[in-house]
Amino acid sequence: MSDPTRMTAAALADALASGDLSSEQITRAHLDRIQGVDEQVGAYLHVAGESALAEAREIDDRRAKGEDLHRLAGVPIAVKDVMTTTGMPTTAGSKMLEGWVPPYDATIVAKLKAAGLPILGKTNMDEFAMGSSTEHSAYGLTRNPWDLERIPGGSGGGSSAAVASWQAPLATGTDTGGSIRQPAALTGSVGVKPTYGGVSRYGMIAMASSLDQGGPCARTVLDTALLHEVMAGHDPLDSTSIDQPVPDVVGAAQRADVKGLRIGIVKELTGEGFSPLVQARFDESVQHLVDAGAEVVEVSCPNFVHALGAYYLIMPSEASSNLARFDAMRYGLRVSPDGIDAPSAEQVMAASRDAGFGDEVKRRIILGTYALSSGYYDAYYGSAQKVRRLIADDFAAAFGSADVLVSPTAPTTAFRFGDKTDDPMAMYRGDIATIPANLAGVPGMSLPSGLAEDGLPAGFQILAPAMADDRLYTVGAALEQRLVSAWGGHLLEQAPELAITKGA
Amino acid sequence: MATTTTDDVLGYDEALTTFDPVMGLEVHVELGTRTKMFCGCATEFGAEPNTQVCPVCLGLPGALPVVNEIGVESAIRMGLALNCSIAQWCRFARKNYFYPDMPKNFQTSQYDEPIAFDGYLDVEIPAATGEGTEIFRVEIERAHMEEDTGKSLHVGGATGRIQGAEYSLVDFNRAGIPLIEIVTRPIAGAGERAPEVAKAFVGALRDLLRSLEVSDLKMEQGSMRCDVNLSLRAKAGDDPTSPEQLAVPLGTRSETKNVNSLRSVERAVRYEVCRHAAVLTSGGSVLQETRHWHEDTGVTTSGREKSDADDYRYFPEPDLVPVAPSREWVEELRSALPEPPALRRKRLLGEWGFSGLEMRDVINAGAIELIEATVAAGAKAQSARKWWLAEPSRRANTEGVDLATYAEQVGITPEHVAELESLIVAGRLNDKMARQVLEGVLDGEGAPTVVADARGLELVQDDGALEAAVDTVIAANPDVADKIRGGKVQAAGALIGQVMKEMKGQADADKARAIILTKLGVEG
């Protein structure tokens, strides 16, 4: 039997079903891998070895008794630290929540537990999911397994780096402007932002409520679909959750058929601003889809050029309000201001927020507070909402002539640490291709398209109409089949081997 | 800066010679829903602190709200009862400000899209002529849905306010309880009757909402809270409703918070009129500020200064979907509304044949529903009124509770009163015995028949015994008997009294009278 950490979730599920592997073996192998390499990668903020093994043994017991189990039961998973977990700290990458153990599970986490997936631990992220590099975590860097001097993307750099460095077969993510898809692209893994409302947000610590969406991270399209199916579905605890059946994403991934499908290339998301080698991998991928029987059309979404501006008004506005609850009164960090005897509640709030929030978080709170202020609301938040409407209209028109839209996921491959920390605008521009989907609420996938300059992975993005998430998987799986056969194996097998520094 | 110094005030009548008051009332009503507005927590009043809380109403990271449908339904019914239009589509909005007892540091409320708007409530006030009453129409700007905050308890200070307190405790049981805020348009044209109009409006609103059964409306428990906005403008003639007067621009307003009884509403308006007038006549200008009402001393003191620059950064609540009540639903709710209290009173007044004075007593005693149910149980309206307003009403007053509450406490029902009445009609009890039976019922001895049986209260039905008693009394009072024989029939009263005494009160007085007159050869 091969190393469980190198197997797909689907293969692990088969091995569990056939009795070739136990969940305890699989879980232990991943914990060993984490112990061996995570000191270099920094994907995890918290490793829950004991509870993961206990959950694994429980699944093994239930399987031995002949219980009817979920297909993924016993396959371990990593959870982004933005989702609340009982019995484990949940910090959202912020000092503000250091040591906070929530009294309730996020709906996603409850579903993972109900399906029997042992939770390996919590993954690193930009503080409150604000960033595209995971450099804004209060707890240190996560490194890109392809090049430890480079960022893994963000905000979900921890989850994507974990799956890309074989420290977990599956991980959860959240995507507000690209936080699942962009790290997937930069680490050579797969990630999906489902239709807004497709996955419950209950228990996901909110950045921007109207944009946030939880989704799956994995190494293959089928694994991503298997996890998507577990996470998705209507939740009465989330008013914005859609009360409709989950699209058949697993069936779609297995079908992998694009014959006669119309693939729309978004004019505004190619060419200028995209690195030539990223563009080259994109063009090859489109050709693969044509070879598989798809038809290519060019579509124009003229308002996408305004997407970044609208996003950076709506997101901070909602975030400034969502983050107001971190006031040191009921939970989290509490700091007394220097030199004040018997400070008032307001003084403690101010001192705690000053000490607990990082620069990027403060930047966005200030931006959002300003944009919502009376006298500025119409010009900023109001206009941004109008742009949002126009972008949704662009999508509707484009989906009139194409079944899915495609683009490179990010304009470039992973940059080096510190390259953009002093230039927030340059960092924000990296989200240009992913943001429109969040503004319109449509689903999107990123999967590897190959290696670009410096031997680093590039991502291919697929977008579909709302509640047609299954189309992402049909197209993604068809492309993946052809690319993997062209590469002679998964792209991640070309990644440099990490040294084992501890244990194992 | 807060101050507790006593403000100068002008006499009310003097103030009204120069100024015309304009009011705006904001009334917060806590809905009586079983669960909170955005989560499933219980809403019971008086529970141990922080026992009716969950991740949602504590504002824990990641928690999300879900709208209470009953809360929306109550809001729509209140809007309809206030003659408002109901929004076809509206959203919740976040009102952002920091306060320790507000878990999310924003209040989920409604801003420019209230569920109900453009209505009115007609209230009855003493007529300007001084005789009878007249209708004054108060226009409703809006009624919107929102959630209550937690409650702070400031410990260690002298006043119970935050200033000077050593520490504060917060109880989040109240956080998330559904509130409806009802906002009037500026109420102008009331002139010197402004305090009465304010009181009448809050009273009429309470009656109306009570008839809808959406809230227990206990002002003393804070389930109905009133903010009074008041400003003065120069008086332009004697008619406060004249076009000239209404054209005078409004003055700067003060907002007196948490005025929590009908009487206080009236007093607070009166006080603020006098205070504003003193400021203005001395050449000062009124500060736009919130004021605290002091029930004990009947004055307001300065709270915090408030200006139009207060910025709550409202924006549509992205965690909730819009509320879009179907027209069918709204019409269904409209057709199921109870009869408005004012119309109902008018109708019952006609049906019952009470005088205006009697009806006023009934209303003041809060006995309408009890009388209505007693009549439904078979009693005559006048008898029902007489019995409820006698001993039960007196005891309720002594206990300091309203009549309905008292009746519930001691277990007397409209059926009991109807039964009492039927015992009198059947000739089993006389008036005096009925009073004793009623006391027995109030003392918890059971239903009227049970009490009468247990206390042995029953008119003697044996005519032989009665005739014997009459004979005895006539024999003992020959002078009186002669007078009656001589035509002074009214003198029979003295003999009836003696017969009753002879019979230990258990005689039917009418029957005794008839026998006396027959025996003395006089026809009654």
| Edge-to-edge strands, sheet with A262-266 | A44-47, A119-123, A77-80, A170-174, A214-218, A190-193, A444-451, A457-463, A404-408, A262-266, A295-299
What is the Cα–Cα distance from B344 to A291, expressed in whole angstroms?
Answer: 80
Residue with tokens 């453009």: B118
Please give the residue of chain A at the shortest CA–CA distance from B102. Answer: A325
Start-to-end CA span in chain A (Å): 18
pLDDT in tens, B318-362: 999 999 999 999 999 999 999 998 888 888 888 999 887 888 888
**8 Å CB contact of A106 and B62:** yes
Which tokens is A162 given? 């974990």
Residue B1 above 50 pLDDT?
no
CATH code matching the domain that covers B463-519, chosen among 1.10.4190, 2.60.40, 1.10.10, 1.20.120: 1.10.10
Mean pLDDT calculated for residue range A46-55? 98
B289's enclosing H/E stretch is strand B289-294
Indicate the residue of B55, B61, B67 with minimum beta-carbon distance to A97: B61
Q: Is A347 on the interface with B (CB under 8 A)?
A: no
Instruction: Please count the other Cβ atoms lying within 10 Å of the Cβ belonging to residue A242.
Output: 21
Instruction: Please count the other Cβ atoms lying within 10 Å of the Cβ belonging to residue B489.
Output: 16
Strand, helix or coil at A332? coil
C-alpha distances (whole Å) from A69 to each of A57, A116, B173 are: 14, 8, 41
Residue A427 above 80 pLDDT?
no
pLDDT in tens, B256-292: 998 988 899 999 999 999 999 999 999 999 999 999 9
**8 Å CB contact of A84 and B62:** yes
Indicate the residue of B60, B65, B321 with minimum beta-carbon distance to A102: B60
pLDDT in tens, B55-91: 999 999 999 999 999 999 999 999 999 999 999 999 9
Chain A residues within 8 A of B168 when measuring between CB atoms: 345
Residue A430 above 90 pLDDT?
no
Q: What is the pLDDT of residue A504?
A: 47
pLDDT band, residue B468 (cuts 50/70/90)? confident
Which tokens is A502 given? 């501890």
Enumerate the β-bridge partners of residue B299: B294
Mutation pick from B35, B57, B60, B104 vs chain A, by most beta carbons of A within 10 Å, is: B60
Strand, helix or coil at B130? coil
Mutation pick from B98, B153, B310, B320 vs chain A, by most beta carbons of A within 10 Å, is: B98
**What is the rounded average pLDDT for all residues in chain A?**
96
Instruction: Please count the other Cβ atoms lying within 10 Å of the Cβ belonging to residue B382.
Output: 14
Angle among Cα B387, B390, B392 to the nearest 5 degrees reads 90
- What is the ipTM score, two decimals? 0.95
Please give the residue of chain B at the shortest CA–CA distance from A315. Answer: B318
**8 Å CB contact of B103 and A210:** no
Q: What is the pLDDT of residue B346?
A: 84
Q: What is the pLDDT of residue B492?
A: 85
Indicate the residue of B64, B104, B315 with minimum beta-carbon distance to A325: B104
pLDDT in tens, A484-496: 999 999 999 999 9
Q: What is the pLDDT of residue A1?
A: 55
Q: Range with the lowest mean pLDDT among A150-159, A214-223, B159-168?
A: B159-168
Instruction: Please count the other Cβ atoms lying within 10 Å of the Cβ belonging to residue B514.
Output: 16
Strand, helix or coil at B152? strand
Q: Is B320 on the interface with A (CB under 8 A)?
A: yes
Indicate the residue of A84, A209, A210 with minimum beta-carbon distance to B61: A84
Q: What is the pLDDT of residue B3?
A: 42
pLDDT band, residue B369 (cuts 50/70/90)? confident
Per-domain boundaries in chain B: 12-333, 339-455, 463-519
Residue A260, sorted as left (phi over 0), alpha (psi -120 to 50) or beta, turns out to be: left
Catalytic residue among A22, A132, A133, A155: A155
Instruction: Please count the other Cβ atoms lying within 10 Å of the Cβ belonging to residue A260.
Output: 9
Residue B2 above 50 pLDDT?
no
Mutation pick from A333, A372, A389 vs chain B, by most beta carbons of B within 10 Å, is: A372
Q: CB under 8 Å to B1, separation ≥6 — which residues?
A: none
Chain B residues within 8 A of A99 when measuring between CB atoms: none
What is the Cα–Cα distance from A211 to A197, expressed in whole angstroms?
Answer: 10
Indicate the residue of A204, A205, A324 with minimum beta-carbon distance to B105: A324
A352 is catalytic: no
**8 Å CB contact of B55 and A103:** yes
**8 Å CB contact of B100 and A329:** yes
Mutation pick from A327, A331, A349 vs chain B, by most beta carbons of B within 10 Å, is: A327
Asked if the peptide bond before residue A160 counts as cis, ω within 30 degrees of 0, the response is: no
Mutation pick from A109, A326, A330, A354 vs chain B, by most beta carbons of B within 10 Å, is: A330
Q: CB under 8 Å to B142, separation ≥6 — which residues?
A: B84, B114, B116, B117, B118, B182, B183
Residue B309 above 80 pLDDT?
no
What is the Cα–Cα distance from A200 to B455, expressed in whole angstroms?
Answer: 69
Burial tier of B68 (Cβ tally within 10 Å: 0-12, 13-18, 19+)? buried
CB A475 within 8 A of CB A404: yes
pLDDT band, residue B405 (cuts 50/70/90)? confident
**Of B207, B273, B202, B271, residue with least CA distance to B235:** B273
What is the Cα–Cα distance from A5 to A167, expressed in whole angstroms?
Answer: 7
Chain A residues within 8 A of B319 when measuring between CB atoms: 206, 209, 239-240
Mean pLDDT calculated for residue range A86-96? 97
pLDDT in tens, A55-77: 999 999 999 999 999 999 999 99
Chain A residues within 8 A of B106 when measuring between CB atoms: 321, 324
Mean pLDDT calculated for residue range A323-342? 94
A51 is catalytic: no
A80 is catalytic: yes
Tell me the shortest Cα–Cα distance from A163 to chain B, in angstroms.
25
Q: Is A238 on the interface with B (CB under 8 A)?
A: yes
Give me the half-sphere count of Cα atoms (radius 13 Å) on the Cβ side of residue A471. 25
Q: CB under 8 Å to A412, separation ≥6 — which residues?
A: A274, A275, A278, A430
A·B CB contacts under 8 A: 100
Q: Is A485 on the interface with B (CB under 8 A)?
A: no
**8 Å CB contact of A205 and B313:** no
Indicate the residue of B67, B98, B319 with minimum beta-carbon distance to A209: B319
Distance, CA of B396 to chain centre: 15
Distance, CA of B121 to chain centre: 16
Instruction: Please count the other Cβ atoms lying within 10 Å of the Cβ belonging to residue B510.
Output: 12
Strand B289-294 and strand B254-259: the pairing is parallel
Strand, helix or coil at A295? strand
Tell me the shortest Cα–Cα distance from A2 to chain B, in angstroms.
39
Distance, CA of B354 to chain centre: 21
Tell me the shortest Cα–Cα distance from A78 to chain B, in angstroms.
18
Indicate the residue of B61, B168, B319 with minimum beta-carbon distance to A239: B319
Q: Is A102 on the interface with B (CB under 8 A)?
A: yes
Enumerate the β-bridge partners of residue A406: A265, A462
pLDDT band, residue A87 (cuts 50/70/90)? very high
Mean pLDDT calculated for residue range A2-21? 97
Strand, helix or coil at A205? coil
**8 Å CB contact of A202 and B64:** yes
Chain B residues within 8 A of A237 when measuring between CB atoms: 64, 66
Asked if the peptide bond before residue A155 counts as cis, ω within 30 degrees of 0, the response is: yes
**What is the rounded average pLDDT for all residues in chain B?**
90
Chain B residues within 8 A of A129 when measuring between CB atoms: none
Residue A12 above 70 pLDDT?
yes
pLDDT in tens, B8-65: 899 999 999 999 999 999 999 999 999 999 999 999 988 999 999 999 999 999 999 9
Which tokens is A99 given? 């040591």
Enumerate the β-bridge partners of residue A420: none
Start-to-end CA span in chain B (Å): 82
Q: What is the pLDDT of residue B4?
A: 46
Mean pLDDT calculated for residue range A8-34? 98
What one-character-per-residue DSSP string does A165-176 give? TTS-SEEEEE-S
Q: What is the pLDDT of residue B524?
A: 53
**8 Å CB contact of A349 and B61:** no
DSSP state of A199: B
What one-character-per-residue DSSP string does A239-257 give? TTS--SPPP-HHHHHHH--
Q: What is the 3-state secondary structure (H, E, C) of A379-436?
A: HHHHHHHHHHHHHHHHHHHHHHHCCEEEEECCCCCCCECCCCCCCHHHHHHCCCCCHH
Quick one: what percent of chain B has pLDDT higher than 70?
97
Mean pLDDT calculated for residue range A117-129? 98
